[in-house]
Amino acid sequence: MKIFTVLGARPQFIKAALVSKELRKNHTEVLIHTGQHYDKRLSEVFFEEMGIPQPDYNLGIGSSSHAHQTGLMMIEIEKLLSSENPDLVLLYGDTNSTLAGALSAAKLQIPIAHVEAGPRMYDKSVPEEINRVMTDHISTLLFAPTVRAMENLNKEGLFEGVYLTGDVMLDNFKYFLKKAEKGSQILDTLNLEKKDYILVTIHRARNTDVEKNLRNIVDALLIISKETDILFPLHPRTKKFLTEYELMDTLIKSPNIHLIKPVGYLDMLFITKNSKIIVTDSGGLQKEAYFAKVPCITVDTSTGWPETVQQGENKIFDNVNNGFINSDKIINAIRTFQTSNKYKNIFGDGNASTKIENIITGFF
């Protein structure tokens, strides 16, 4: 069968790596890269390190406002769907590339399979929430990573075609961690010791685009950096706003803050596994912190992964004061969070990719 996969952003390349490998055993895959992420460090590096086949088409859409970006993607995807005539469209996660693929396929009445269906933040001010809800409701096969995700879908009346597969990110974590542990030199290069630094990633629009929020997050990091090293790979969106708000110099000059460019997946797994605490607003990194058994402080008021909070490994807190993120609340969370260390297999057994391939094969 011919499967038409639409990818566009960093977490999607990562999620697709092992599923694509499985699918190509029995099916033909046509890979579309929308070009939403285009920097080498946000795109090419994952194709190289994770052995993802080169895209058959790169739409080169790039960055713009939500509707403009999604609309341009849809125009190009529709053309390709008409010429390629696939049996199924395969989508991952919750980016604008996901939504563009979903709407284009649904209008042509091509069945859609959605990997990572069902997480909900119940907050429509989050652009990704809109993308997930819309995509789930027009998908034919919905692959839920957790029981909670499946229940969320059921609550919205979605039962048919819903499968509990586990999380493909756990498959990747298990498969690539051994390689990372053998090959990564990043901590030596940075002169950092294992379990002696906090790993930070920030890129959500709410945290970066609002000046006062980003300023308060930076203030918290500056104070915490007096107590411990901080390793901070910068997403380009965050770099752009740190520069615009003139916050970059202070961070660069702070001796214990190690600002680095975005890293490849293997280095990322290595610095995740060996950090003592993770401070992040990334959905994917919250899960990887759980897989790596590293305490996670989430810089957001809600999460798509409440399972990790319930297990006592991820801290979500009211981080706002007078409508803006509050530095003291972040500092306090970092200083005081104690995990429960009661890990359960809430994300499955690391074989989600095989299960997904089996379900897709059975569908035809």
What's the distance, CA 225 to chain centroid? 26
Verify whether residue 203 is a known catalytic residue.
yes
Q: Which of 99, 268, 333, 346 binds ligand UDP (CB under 6 A)?
A: 268
Amino acid at 345: N
- The neighbour count for residue 277, using CB atoms within 10 Å, is 23
Q: Which of 42, 110, 133, 134 binds ligand UD1 (CB under 6 A)?
A: 42
Binding to ligand UDP (CB under 6 A): which residues in 100-119? none
- The neighbour count for residue 320, using CB atoms within 10 Å, is 13
Residue span 83-112 as binding mask against ligand UD1, x where in contact by CB under 6 A, dash where not: -----------xxx----------------
Q: Which of 257, 285, 292, 309 binds ligand UDP (CB under 6 A)?
A: 285
Residue 346 touching ligand UDP (CB under 6 A): no
Q: What angle do CA 65, 59, 283 make, to 5 degrees?
A: 55
Q: How far apart are CA 2 and CA 32, in angstroms?
A: 13
Residue 38 touching ligand UD1 (CB under 6 A): yes
Q: How far apart are CA 187 and CA 168, in angstroms?
A: 27
Q: Which helix (H) or strand (E) holds 199?
A: strand 197-201
Residue 145 touching ligand UDP (CB under 6 A): no
**Range list of H helices, 108-210:** 127-137, 147-155, 168-183, 186-190, 205-208
Q: Which two tokens stand for residue 79?
A: 């053309």
The four Cα atoms 76, 77, 80, 82 give a dihedral, to 10 degrees, of -110
Locate tokens 């089996």: which residue?
358
38 binds, among ligand UDP, ligand UD1, none (CB under 5 to 8 A by kind): ligand UD1
Q: Which helix (H) or strand (E) holds 267?
A: helix 265-273
Q: How far apart are CA 267 and CA 38, in angstroms?
A: 20
Q: Which stretch binds ligand UD1 (CB under 6 A): 14-22, 73-81, 222-230, 236-244?
A: 236-244
Q: Which of 2, 26, 28, 39 binds ligand UD1 (CB under 6 A)?
A: 39
Residue span 52-91 as binding mask against ligand UDP, x where in contact by CB under 6 A, dash where not: ----------------------------------------
Residue 201 touching ligand UDP (CB under 6 A): yes
- The neighbour count for residue 329, using CB atoms within 10 Å, is 17
Q: Tell me if 105 sits within 8 A of 135, measured CB to CB.
A: no
Residue 71 touching ligand UD1 (CB under 6 A): no
Residue 200 touching ligand UDP (CB under 6 A): no
Residue 244 touching ligand UD1 (CB under 6 A): no
Residue 263 touching ligand UDP (CB under 6 A): yes
Q: How far apart are CA 78 and CA 106, in angstroms?
A: 10
262 binds, among ligand UD1, ligand UDP, none (CB under 5 to 8 A by kind): ligand UDP
Closest CA to 354 of 175, 176, 119, 132: 175
Residue span 220-259 as binding mask against ligand UDP, x where in contact by CB under 6 A, dash where not: -------------x--------------------------
Q: How far apart are CA 364 and CA 362, in angstroms?
A: 6
Q: Which stretch binds ligand UD1 (CB under 6 A): 9-17, 110-118, 217-225, 270-278?
A: 9-17
Q: Which stretch binds ligand UD1 (CB under 6 A): 33-41, 50-58, 82-90, 138-146?
A: 33-41
Q: Which of 37, 114, 203, 258 is catalytic?
A: 203
Residue span 311-350 as binding mask against ligand UD1, x where in contact by CB under 6 A, dash where not: ----------------------------------------
What is the crossing angle of helices 168-183 and 10-23, to 10°?
100
Residue 11 touching ligand UDP (CB under 6 A): yes
User: Residue count at the site for ligand UD1 (CB under 6 A)?
Assistant: 19
Binding to ligand UD1 (CB under 6 A): which residues in 166-205? 203
Amino acid at 346: I
Q: Which helix (H) or strand (E) holds 200?
A: strand 197-201
Q: Enumerate the active-site residues.
A: 203
Binding interface with ligand UD1 (CB under 6 A): 9-11, 36-39, 42, 63, 94-96, 127-128, 203, 235-237, 240
